[in-house]
């Protein structure tokens, strides 16, 4: 088992919380290799005129640190 690091990333989607979480992984994968897991720490939604306008997630992304 190697050394792992965790970073916190937020994302937003107009579709769903699941889509917002997928965006976290996609964006993090552009610069971070070896992502092992994400933990959705918080979920919130922006509401306008009685309708959900966007979904937001705050995630902790864990990846392996290679020396």
pLDDT in tens, 7-61: 999 999 999 999 999 999 999 999 999 899 999 999 999 999 999 999 999 999 9
Q: Cβ(47)–Cβ(1) under 8 Å?
A: no
List the end-to-end C-alpha distance of the chain, in Å, as a whole number: 13
Q: How confident is the model at residue 67 (pLDDT cuts 50, 70, 90)?
A: low
Q: Tokens for 50?
A: 């009685």
- The alpha carbons of the chain give a radius of gyration, in whole angstroms, of 14
Tell me which residue of 67, 51, 61, 66 sits closest to 7, measured CA to CA: 61
The phi, psi pair for 42, rounded to 5°, reads: -140, 150
Domain tally, the chain: 1
- Regarding pTM above 0.75, the answer is yes
Domain region containing 36: 3-65
User: The domain that contains 11 carries what CATH number?
Assistant: 3.30.1660.10
């Amino acid at each position: 088992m190697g050394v792992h690091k965790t970073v916190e990333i937020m994302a937003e989607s107009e579709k769903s919380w699941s889509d917002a979480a997928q965006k976290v992984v996609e964006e993090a994968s552009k610069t971070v290799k070896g992502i092992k897991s994400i933990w959705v720490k918080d979920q919130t939604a922006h509401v306008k005129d009685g309708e959900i306008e966007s979904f937001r997630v705050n995630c902790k992304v864990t990846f392996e640190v290679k020396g």
